[in-house]
Amino acid sequence: SGHFIHSRQPQGLLCLQKRLYFNLSVLEEGERLTMAQLEIKFSHNSYHASSQGQVFELRLYQTFQMSLREMPSHEHSRKLLVEQSFAQLHKSLLFNVSEVAKDWRTYSRNLGLILEISVSSGDGVTALMSEGLQNLCASINSFLDTSLLVVTLSQQQCKASRRRRSAHYLPVTPSNLCKPRRLYISFSDVGWENWIIAPQGYMANYCLGECPFPLTAELNSTNHAILQTMVHSLDPEGTPQPCCVPV
């Protein structure tokens, strides 16, 4: 989902304006698209390029117009899907674009997405004067990679799982989402103090909570966890929910 916005200049220095296109024509007509997840991944080269105090701003749009000369910026030619700020590039960002992908198939008009990334130093106009910031901005496209994970069901799978999907689930709130809980292991309690001199114990932690479908970006899920969640939604009794790994 998203909303229309008036075109405006991004805050800070515009580093990247890129059209993302994913070909969904390989999907068969009878396949039902159940989930589409966009991953924006920054390579290891960006870990040391970013500096303390800078702020990156990411915007993701669905576009309705194909422009050969420039990216569409009119308020009626694109729709804002995501607007997110972050301080470092050393991570993978996940976004649920299922509704957009369904639109592409329903109306047979896939014009892709537009990705914009801008950067500022956090102190206003001085961001444009920073040579290091400009160098980072100029090279950001070289260590950025995007991919789209699509999960579909065939007609046979849809018919077999229709009754199972009618099961009722308890609503998931932020308080009961899957997350690490504190668990301290004392080596003396388990009889290991005679051969482990130091430390006397460690914080092992454990995981507890719900992993709802679809998994959100905040859960930092792997592709394996996403697929397991999908199968669990079809067959709750035969496949358990995935769980997080305590760190």
Contact criterion met (CB below 8 Å) for 219 and 178: yes
Whole-number pLDDT of residue 74: 58
Give the span between the Cα atoms of 12 and 72, in whole angstroms: 20
Contact criterion met (CB below 8 Å) for 183 and 206: yes
Whole-number pLDDT of residue 83: 92
Whole-number pLDDT of residue 72: 53
Q: Is 86 left (phi over 0), alpha (psi -120 to 50) or beta?
A: beta
* Mean of all residue pLDDT scores within the chain: 73
Q: What is the pLDDT along the chain (247 residues), one digit of tens a residue?
A: 333 333 444 557 888 899 999 888 878 877 888 888 898 888 755 554 455 567 888 999 998 877 645 555 556 688 999 998 887 766 788 899 999 999 888 877 888 999 999 887 665 544 445 666 777 777 788 888 898 888 887 666 555 444 444 434 444 455 677 777 788 888 888 888 888 888 888 888 877 777 766 666 666 677 777 788 777 777 777 777 777 766 5
User: pLDDT of 43-76, one tens digit each?
Assistant: 755 554 455 567 888 999 998 877 645 555 556 6
Whole-number pLDDT of residue 127: 47
Q: What is the 3-state secondary structure (H, E, C) of the chain?
A: CCECCCCCCCCCEEEEEEEECCCCCCCCCCCEEEEEEEEEEECHHHCCCCCCCCEEEEEEEEECCCCCCCCCCCCCCEEEEEEEEECCCCCEEEEECHHHHHHHHHCCCCCCEEEEEEEECCCHHHHHHCHHHHHHHHHHHHHEEEEEEEEEECHHHHHHHCCHHHCCCCCCCHHHECEEECCEEECCCCCCCCCCCCCCEEECCEEECECCCCCCHHHCCCHHHHHHHHHHHHCCCCCCCCCCCCC
Whole-number pLDDT of residue 31: 81
